[in-house]
Amino acid sequence: MPDQLLFGMEVFLNGLMAGVLYALVALGFVLIYKASGIFNYAQGVMALFAALTLVGIMEGQVPFSHLINAIFGTEVHHFGWHLPAVVGIVLTIVVMIGLAWAVNAFIMRHLVNQEPIILFMATIGLAYFMEGLGDLMWGADIKKLDVGLPQGINTAIDEATYDFFGYGFFIDNLDIWATVIAIILVAALMLFSQYTKQGRALRAVADDHQAALSVGISLNFIWVLVWSIAGFVALVAGIMWGAKSGVQFSLSLIALKALPVLMLGGFTSIPGAIVGGLIIGVGEKLFEFAIGPLVGGATENWFAYVLALIFLVFRPQGLFGEKIIERV
Amino acid sequence: MFYREAGEFKTSYVDDNQTFPIRFDRYRYYAVLAVAFLIVPFVINDYWANAVLLPFLIYAIAAIGLNILVGYCGQVSLGTGGFMAVGAYATYKLMTAFPDINIFFHIVMAGGITAIVGVLFGLPSLRIKGFYLAVATLAAQFFLVWLFNRVPWFYNNSASGQINAPERTVFGQAVTGPATEAWATYLFCLVFTVASALLARNLTRGAMGRRWMAIRDMDIAAEIIGVNPLISKLTAFAVSSFFVGIAGALFFAVYLGAVEVGEVYGINKSFLVLFMIIIGGLGSIFGSFAGAAFLVLLPVLLKNVLVGTLGWPTGLASHFEIMILGFLIIVFLVAEPHGLAQLWRVTKEKLRLWPFPH
């Protein structure tokens, strides 16, 4: 087989894995958008915040230590414990649920019935707030996140492909794990929304707020639930990206990667988020591989957006979005 | 006492159609202009010009531009940073290619070029609406910044990849380059700001502005009563990009002097200008000024208090600043979703009746 084709295949597989991670972030967007019509820009920052909190709890950092030191002139840094990953994850989930409650109680409840653009702006404000809060709580330095997932080249695939093609594919163990976990997560979400009482209530709210309210579903509870689930999804995404490239500010920028995924897949469709994520992941990696060197590289920054833009001109509601019906 | 309409009789259409129909309002406006043009240039110093006044004037132009698109025509755009970059690079190319022409014309032409680019990226708005369009404009943001970063022609093959504004003069006084004086740059920007505000105000009051507002309120209904959506949306994109391009040009040439595109015209710039018009008030020229003033002054104030008075480390203070900014945006949206302009309107109503509110 020609080398270019083999490289291309490797790029394709890696793109697929990256696409799964994009899909994971996009999923959080879709969940909140479906249930409350809020376009939650803060999803990426939630992933950053969750990852920061997880690292902070596991390492036993004192929250706001820099702030406390600056104000009182003390020298506190760590509590001096190291918690196992499982405990850290559980505690972080508790924090994210608390955050979901706070967001609803202090922001979203006051903005019910406002125009979507106002809600969107509120989530951008929330994103800024949480970005500052996360840095203030846990410090802005780059942190290593190790929850015990295997990392590095997968030797089994490397050897198998070497035997078969005469060229070993480089595929990161972490990417494989991320894919598996993402699939499990999506399956769990599907089962949850299909077979549990809360899941049904969630779908009812997504379908029609007022009808759901009239049959006795508590909108407040559902919104807190949805934001909690989105927080959980953000945590998973944060762990994956954090383990890959360290927990740092750039983590919040994955939200920007998820936006074209959403456009492509449609804001209201969970399968759309996944398929969109895969298309974008593969598309941008292959484009960078094939065209990137000709035009100076770093095309990943914009390729996804331009692809989504061109696609939307032909299909304005995205791949799986609900058909937009306009009435006067 | 204030905003009295009693005794003001409009006897001609010209009187009736004035920008500020109430006499008190008109005099207040003249007074502000007089202070800005005749008093401030004499008392200005470098710190005030660079920290407060220049950014305020330039952001006000950008905010007016974005407000035309978002506030008046209802097309949400997140590509402001990219369009500002177009203005900046257009000015740079024009300045270096035609050094004999006055910089004033370069900047206006840069606005024109940005308007053309804006129309190109505005074309999808005919098919795509709402959030889909907002995200689609991000394509402009990322693509344009990448383009200016990667194609050496745009930065004249300079080794650093930066663009630097050479010295240019207006009436013999340097307004760009290293040896400028605070009052000259201030006046130069002020002329553009006042002209933009006047132009925008009159455009939005006229037939074009009404078409934009019809499209904003409901595009299908507007189409049915005979508003051409193609022309309305694209003129909104063109006019908006024109102002944003001028703002980007001034930001580069007069304010910063040297620009690295990803840093200065990144996505954060787009959000900053969007915050300005949300906090200031959508669909209001005054709101654009108020929002720009608020978001320019807030960081300066916070920095002075936190770093200067309390002695916090700068890094910590900047995180705190981001947090406060986010917090304030949320507070504003919850308390007054229509922004500072709405507060101003309410105050005016109160003043008209004061001191006898019945």
Q: How many CB atoms lie within 10 A of CB B45?
A: 9
Rounded to an integer, the average pLDDT of B187-215 is 93
Q: Which of B83-107 are b and which e, b meaning 16 or more Cβ less than 10 Å from the residue's Cβ? A: bbbbbbbbbbbbbeeeeeeebeebb
Q: Please indicate, yes or no, if residue A175 is contained in any of the structural domains.
A: yes
> In this structure, are residues A225 and A198 in contact, taking their beta carbons and an 8 Å threshold?
yes
A148-154: average pLDDT: 71
Which pLDDT score is estimated for B227? 92
A66–B329 C-beta distance less than 8 A: no
CA A221 to chain centre: 23
pLDDT the model gives residue B165: 85
The shortest C-alpha distance from A326 to chain B (Å) reads 8
Do residue B330 and residue A107 have CB atoms under 8 angstroms apart? yes
Domain that holds residue B106: 45-266
Better-scored residue on pLDDT, A73 or B123: B123
Total domains in the fold of chain B: 1
State the average pLDDT over residues B203-215: 92
Mean pLDDT of chain B: 88
Which chain A residue has its CA at the smallest distance from B151's CA? A296
The answer to the question of residue B275 being in a domain is no
Confirm whether B6 is domain-assigned. Answer: no
Nearest to A129 among B124, B271, B327 (CB): B327
Q: Which domain holds residue A155?
A: 3-251
Q: Which residues is B259 bridged to in the sheet?
A: B163
Query: Is residue A136 less than 8 Å (CB to CB) from chain B?
Result: yes
Per-residue pLDDT at B204: 92
Give the pLDDT band (50/70/90) at residue A108.
confident
Kindly state whether residue B358 falls inside one of the protein's structural domains.
no
What distance in Å separates residue A244's CA from the closest CA in chain B? 24
For residue A229 the two structure tokens come to 């689930």
Contact call for B334 and A107, based on CB within 8 A = yes
User: In chain B, pLDDT over 90 holds for what percent of residues?
Assistant: 36
What residues of B are in contact with residue A267 (Cβ under 8 Å)? 131-132
pLDDT score at B192: 94
Among B146, B220, B310, the residue with its CB nearest the CB of A301 is B146
Q: In terms of Cα–Cα distance, which of B108, B104, B243, B259 is closest to B184? A: B104
Nearest to A111 among B145, B323, B333 (CB): B333
- Total domains in chain A come to 1
Which of B322, B324, B332 is best to mutate for the A interface (most A CBs within 10 A)?
Answer: B322
Asked if pLDDT for residue B2 goes beyond 80, the answer is no
CB atoms within 10 A of CB B199: 14
| Least confident span in A68-82, B92-106, B324-338 | A68-82
Nearest chain B residue to A255 by CA: give it: B135
Q: Are B206 and B199 in contact (CB under 8 A)?
A: no
SS (H, E, C) B121-174: HHHHHHCCCHHHHHHHHHHHHHHHHHHHHHCHHHHCCCCCCCEECCCCEECCEE
Interchain contact, B330 vs A140, CB within 8 Å: no
- Report which residue type is found at A227: W
Give the other-Cβ count within 10 Å of B160's Cβ. Answer: 9
Instruction: Determine, yes or no, domain membership for A94.
Output: yes
The model's pTM is 0.88
Alpha-carbon separation of residue B157 from A38, A276, B153, B256 (angstroms): 45, 38, 6, 20
A139 or B346: whose pLDDT is higher? B346
* Contact: A127, B220; criterion CB under 8 Å: no
Give yes or no for residue B1 having a pLDDT over 70: no
CA distances from B296 to B50, B58, B64, B215, B276 (A): 11, 10, 15, 31, 9
Taking contacts as CB-CB distances below 8 angstroms, the residues of chain B near A305 are 135-136, 138-139, 142-143
d(CA B77, CA B66): 8
Distance CA A290, CA A285 (A): 9
- Structure tokens belonging to residue B137: 């404009």
Residue A165 in domain:
yes
- d(CA B304, CA B295) in angstroms, rounded, equals 15
Given phi > 0 = left and psi -120 to 50 = alpha, else beta, which region is A10? alpha
- The whole-angstrom distance between B329's CA and the closest CA on chain A is 5
Task: Please indicate, yes or no, if residue A269 is contained in any of the structural domains.
Answer: no
- Across A29-56, average pLDDT: 85
Chain A hits for B131, Cβ within 8 Å: 39, 116, 120, 267
Q: How many whole angstroms separate alpha carbon B272 and alpha carbon B187? A: 24
Closest-CA residue of chain B to A260: B135
Give whole-number Cα distances, A216 to A34, A211, A212, A219, B255, in Å.
19, 9, 7, 9, 58
Residue B261 has pLDDT above 90, yes or no: no
Q: Which of A75, A31, A18, A45 is nearest to A238 (CA)?
A: A45
Question: What's the mean per-residue pLDDT of chain A?
Answer: 81
In a domain, A262, yes or no: no
Confirm whether A285 is domain-assigned.
no
* Cross-chain residue pair B145–A259, CB shorter than 8 Å: no
The radius of gyration computed from the CA coordinates of chain A, to the nearest angstrom, equals 21
Residue A36 lies in a domain: yes
Structure tokens at B85: 């970059």
Amino acid type, A161: T
Residue A168: pLDDT over 90: no
Measure in Å the smallest separation between the Cα of A313 and chain B Cα atoms.
Answer: 6
pLDDT band at B247 (very low <50, low <70, confident <90, very high): very high
Please determine, for residue B236, whether its predicted confidence score (pLDDT) is greater than 90: yes
Q: Which residue has the higher pLDDT, B58 or A67?
A: B58
Q: pLDDT per residue over A129-149, tens digit each?
A: 998 888 888 877 777 777 767
Is the preceding omega at residue B355 within 30 degrees of 0, hence cis? yes
Alpha helices in chain B (DSSP H): 13-16, 23-34, 40-43, 46-48, 54-67, 80-97, 103-122, 130-150, 182-205, 207-217, 219-224, 229-250, 261-264, 267-280, 285-303, 314-335, 339-353
Beta bridge partners of residue A78, listed in sequence order:
A61
- Give the per-residue pLDDT at B67: 94
Answer whether residue B25 is part of any domain. no
The string of pLDDT tens digits covering residues B135-164 is 888 888 989 998 898 888 888 888 787 888
Q: Which H or E run contains B259? A: strand B258-259
Q: Which of B143, B179, B186 is nearest to B44 (CA)?
A: B186
Most confident of the ranges A283-292, A293-302, B106-115, B303-312: B106-115
Tell me how far apart the alpha carbons of residues B250 and A31 are, in angstroms, rounded to a whole number: 42
Q: Which of B132, B324, B328 lies nearest to residue A312, judging by beta carbons?
A: B132
pLDDT above 90: residue A32: no
C-alpha B128/C-alpha B123 separation (Å) is 9
Contacts of B294 in chain A (CB under 8 A): none
Question: A328 pLDDT band (50/70/90 cuts)?
Answer: low
Contact between chains at A122 and B330 (C-beta distance less than 8 A): yes
Across the A:B interface, residue pairs with CB atoms under 8 Å apart total: 147
Dihedral sign for Cα atoms in the order A211, A214, A217, A222: positive
DSSP assignment of A233-286, as one string?
HHHHHHHHHHHHH-BSGGGGGHHHHHHHHHHHH-TT-HHHHHHHHHHHHHHHHH
Residue with tokens 């990137």: A292
For A186-241, write each residue's pLDDT tens digit: 888 888 888 889 888 888 887 777 888 899 988 888 889 988 988 998 898 888 88
- The predicted complex's ipTM stands at 0.82
pLDDT for the residue numbered B201: 92
> Which tokens is A197 given?
């009482």
* A299 → chain B, closest CA residue: B146
Phi, psi of A144 (to 5 degrees): -90, 135
Task: Kindly report, residue by residue over B288-337, the tens digit of the pLDDT.
Answer: 999 999 999 988 888 888 877 777 777 778 888 888 888 888 888 888 88
Contact B313 A124 (CB under 8 A): no
**pLDDT of res. A1:** 59
Tell me: pLDDT of B34 over 80. yes
Predicted pLDDT of residue A70:
74
User: Residue B356 pLDDT more than 90?
Assistant: no
Please indicate, yes or no, if residue A270 is contained in any of the structural domains.
no
SS3 A82: coil
